[in-house]
Amino acid sequence: MYFALVTAVFSFFLSATLASAVPQGFVTTNGQEFELDGEPFAFVGSNSFWLPLLTTDTDVDTTFQQIVEGGIKVVRTWGFNAINGSELAGALESNLTYYQVWNSSEWILNDGPQGLERLDNVVETAGKFGIKLIVTFTNNWVGYGGSDLYLAWIGGENCYFLNIIPTLNEYAYLERYVQTIVERYKNSPNIFAWELMNEARCASDTYPSGPNCVPGTETITTWYKEQSDFVRSLDPFHMITTGGEGQFYWKDDTALASDFNFNGQAGEDFDRELFLENIDFGVYHMYPESWYPQALIPGSGFDTGELGPAMAAKQANKPIVLEEFGVKKANKSVIYPGWVQRAEDTKHAIMPWQFGALGLTEDGGNRIIKYTDELLNGASPNDGFAIYKSNTAVWDIFTSAAQVQDSRSG
C-alpha cells in the first residue's frame, strides 16, 4: 500500500516533469485535442508514401510547396523501403530509394544518398515548409518491404503474421530498424508522430491468420503494447500511434457479427488499444467501396464504422485522426463533403488518401517507382485516389476544411 502510494506519487512527478519538458514545436495531446506549444492544433493532413522515393530535391520542394497551398499541416509517409538481394541490381539501375536490403542472412542498412539520406531530406524539407510528418515503420502488406518480407525472408514457410518464431525472432530485426529511424529523428520537431505498422491485421497479403490471432486473442493489441513501449523507451516526447484501420471486436453485437470491421476477425481491438499507455491517439481508415457493397447508401455499415472510432476515442479521452480514406469508383466531390463534415463535427483530424503533386521533373516524368505506382507526365502516382490541385472540385473541399481546422487552432 505504502509502496504503491510512493510509486504513484513518484510517477505523478515523473510524468509532470516529462510533460513540462516537451521540446518546443513538438505536438502533444490534451484530452481529445492535439496541442502545439500549448495551443489547440486541429488540421487537415494528407498521405504521401512516395515522397522519399523522389530522387531530386527539386521535386521534394515542389511537392511540399503544393502541400502548403492545400492548407495541409501533417503528412504521413513511409519510413520503410526494403528490398531483397535479387532486387538490388534493378534498384541501383532505376535509382529506387531503399533503406534496407536483405542479403539472405542479414538486413544491410542503406544510410547513403539512395537510402536514408532521402528520408533525411524529406524530414528537413517538411520543416522548412512548416509541415509535420507521421512516419510509419513498416507495412502489413507486401508493398515497399512490409512485414510479409520479414516473414518470408527470415521465417520462411509455415509462419504466420505476428506469430513470432522465437529462434528466428523476426521482430528483433524490425526493432533494430525502428531504433535506427527513431534515433535519427528523435530530436526533430518535424516529426508529428511515430506509427508502428500500416494496417496491421492478423492476415497479410500472403500469410493467413495464425491460431494465435483470432477474435479475442488480443495478439495485435499485445504487439502494439510491446512496440509502443519500446519506441517510448527510445523517445520520450514524440507521439506514437498504431497505424491501424480502426477495426473492433464487438463480440456482443449480433447485428454486426458478420461485419469484418467489427467481429474481431481483422485482429484489431480499437477499444482496447486506445487505452494503451504509449498509444497517444487513435487512427482509422475508411474504404467503404472495397468493404461494403452498399457502402454509399446512408445507414450502411460504414456509418457505424465512423461512429465506432468516435465513441472509442471519447472513452479513452484521446484524439483521433481519420488517417486514410477515399473512393475511386464514386464521384469524390459528391462523397467527400459529407465525410469531411462528420469528421469536423466529431473533431477528428482529416487525412485523405492521397496527395497528388503536379509538375515533377525527374526522368521526364515516367519513372516507375515501384510496383504499379509511377510518375506520369510529371504527376505523382495515382492509384485512383490521388487529389491534384487541378481537380478544383475535390481540392477545394479540403482547402475549405483546412480553414475550419485553422480557425480551431491557436
Ligand X SMILES: *[C@@H]1O[C@H](CO)[C@@H](O)[C@H](O)[C@H]1NC(C)=O
Q: Which residues are catalytic?
A: 199, 324
Count Cβ atoms within 10 A of the Cβ of residue 183 and give its class: 0-12 exposed, 13-18 middle, 19 or more buried: exposed
| C-beta of 23 vs 113, nearer to ligand X | 113
What is d(CA 281, CA 389) in angstroms, rounded to the nearest whole number?
30
What is d(CA 344, CA 322) in angstroms, rounded to the nearest whole number?
10
Structural element, H or E, at residue 320: strand 320-325
| C-beta of 113 vs 384, nearer to ligand X | 113
| C-beta of 113 vs 410, nearer to ligand X | 113
> Residue 295 CB, nearest distance to ligand X (Å)?
17
∠ CA 121-127-130, nearest 5°, is 140
> Residue 364 CB, nearest distance to ligand X (Å)?
12
What is d(CA 10, CA 318) in angstroms, rounded to the nearest whole number?
24
Residues that bind ligand X (CB under 6 A): 55, 84, 86-87, 95, 103-106, 108, 113, 152-153, 331, 333-334, 393
The answer to whether residues 74 and 131 touch, using CB atoms and an 8 Å cutoff, is yes
The answer to whether residues 139 and 80 touch, using CB atoms and an 8 Å cutoff, is yes
Which grid cell sits at 9?
506519487
| C-beta of 55 vs 227, nearer to ligand X | 55
> Residue 87 CB, nearest distance to ligand X (Å)?
5
Which grid cell sits at 153?
525472408
The answer to whether residues 70 and 386 touch, using CB atoms and an 8 Å cutoff, is no
The answer to whether residues 32 and 347 touch, using CB atoms and an 8 Å cutoff, is yes
Give the largest Cα separation in the chain, rounded: 70
Q: Are strands 282-286 and 39-40 parallel, antiparallel or unpaired?
A: unpaired
| C-beta of 153 vs 270, nearer to ligand X | 153
What is d(CA 203, CA 209) in angstroms, rounded to the nearest whole number?
5
Q: Which residue has the cell 503494447?
A: 225
> Residue 148 CB, nearest distance to ligand X (Å)?
9
Which grid cell sits at 243?
497505424
> Residue 307 CB, nearest distance to ligand X (Å)?
26
> Residue 67 CB, nearest distance to ligand X (Å)?
20
Q: Which residue has the cell 534493378?
A: 90
| C-beta of 114 vs 263, nearer to ligand X | 114
- Cβ neighbours for 104, distance < 8 A, ≥ 6 positions apart: 85, 153
What is d(CA 189, CA 41) in angstroms, rounded to the nearest whole number?
14
What is d(CA 79, CA 85) in angstroms, rounded to the nearest whole number?
20
Which grid cell sits at 228?
509502443
> Residue 115 CB, nearest distance to ligand X (Å)?
10
CB atoms within 10 A of CB 14: 10
